[in-house]
Amino acid sequence: MPVTTTGKVVVMTSGGDAPGMNAAIRAVVRKGLALGLQMWGARRGYEGIIDGVLEPLSSRSVSNIIQRGGTILHTARSPRFLEPAGRAQAAEVLRANGMTGLIAIGGDGTFRGLIRLAELWDGTTVGVPCTVDNDLFGTDCTIGFDTAVNTALEAIDRIRDTASAHDRIFLVEVMGRQAGFIALAAGVAGGAEHILVPETRTDLPAIAKSIAEEQKAGKTSQIIVVAEGDEAGGAVEVGQKLKDLLGVEFRVCVLGHIQRGGSPTALDRILATTLGAYAAETVREGVSGQMVGVVNGQRRRTPLADAVGKKKPVDPAILKLVDILAR
């Protein structure tokens, strides 16, 4: 492996937390140390860098965290970093501390920050995709997505018990402001009768008609999964509109923040381990401005600008399956 960077590398978590952040920190730190790097942690993402809250990390600092939700480094959204003065301060802190690399674990806001920071600082920047939303180009899955889907699925399974016992229709809202990945995966796995995602046009009158037909055919309970960012509205709004169309009552569950926490699934821990290690290798090689990912089972680097700028599509085939299988 060509050694183009030596050094002193900061790792941080930033933006919304996601299950697997700790597993990624562990892999970044231990692989970095194994590659001869000094590893440091910043608390609360860009906030910690701006304030110079940095701490050295040893192999022991990341013991027994692979299974924990949340992040031992804490995370934050940093309004100061959105301002030029904040970014300049961050770059100055990195320089003053002799840092040669920065590994940012987070989602698209985090990576946009990394791109801006690189305008002011010439260290090696690497992004690790970690967000429940799965809306980053350049990796088949983001870290945290599989856990969030399984958490939503468990909730849907519970709600189906009640829906079935009461012969009722439930609307379940899951996370996803821009993207329907969670809704689609949890909906298909939960056997939902309808799934509403931002990527496809939602035709409420058609859905209302289908509900009415299914009820007539004896299907007395139904689950409709709604991505929070669906253009027809969240679950509360969709429920009101369907009620207006059909004259029947819908129950609404908004799953909310429970989808961010909890112990990560095996898939998320393995992905975090793979990508964390790959990020350490990437920073060690001095390859900057990249997000690490796994595409078709292979590790791959994608320029940060593409990772946040290109659109990752949902699988239309699976969406069509819902129409067939839920009958």
User: Does 110 contact a second copy by CB under 8 A?
Assistant: no
Per DSSP, the three-state class of 295 is strand
CB of 227 to a second copy, least distance (A): 15
Q: How many residues bind a second copy (CB under 8 A)?
A: 75
User: Does 100 contact a second copy by CB under 8 A?
Assistant: no
Is the CB of 179 or the CB of 277 nearer to a second copy?
A: 277
Residue 252 exposure: Cα atoms within 13 Å on the Cβ side: 19
Pairing verdict, β 54-56 and 101-106: unpaired
Please give the Cα distance from 255 to 149 (Å, whole number). Answer: 11
Q: Single out the catalytic residue among 17, 108, 133, 146.
A: 133
Q: Which of residues 55-74 bind a second copy (CB under 8 A)?
A: 59-60, 64, 66-71, 74
Q: DSSP states of 64-128 as a string?
A: T-TT-SS-TT-----TGGGSHHHHHHHHHHHHHTT--EEEEEE-HHHHHHHHHHHTT--SEEEEE
User: Does 240 contact a second copy by CB under 8 A?
Assistant: no
Q: Which of residues 251-290 bind a second copy (CB under 8 A)?
A: 251-258, 260-263, 265-267, 269-270, 273-274, 277
User: Does 177 contact a second copy by CB under 8 A?
Assistant: no
CB of 253 to a second copy, least distance (A): 5
What b-and-e string marks burial along 164-183, b requiring 16 or more CB atoms within 10 Å of the CB? eeeebbbbbbbbbeebbbbb
Lookup: tokens for 115 = 């791109």
Residues 16-35: x/- map of binding to a second copy (CB under 8 A)?
A: -x-x-x----xx--xx--x-
Question: Is 133 known to be catalytic?
Answer: yes
User: Does 214 contact a second copy by CB under 8 A?
Assistant: no
CB of 133 to a second copy, least distance (A): 15
User: Does 189 contact a second copy by CB under 8 A?
Assistant: yes
On whether the CB atoms of residues 224 and 193 are closer than 8 A, the answer is yes
Active site residues: 133
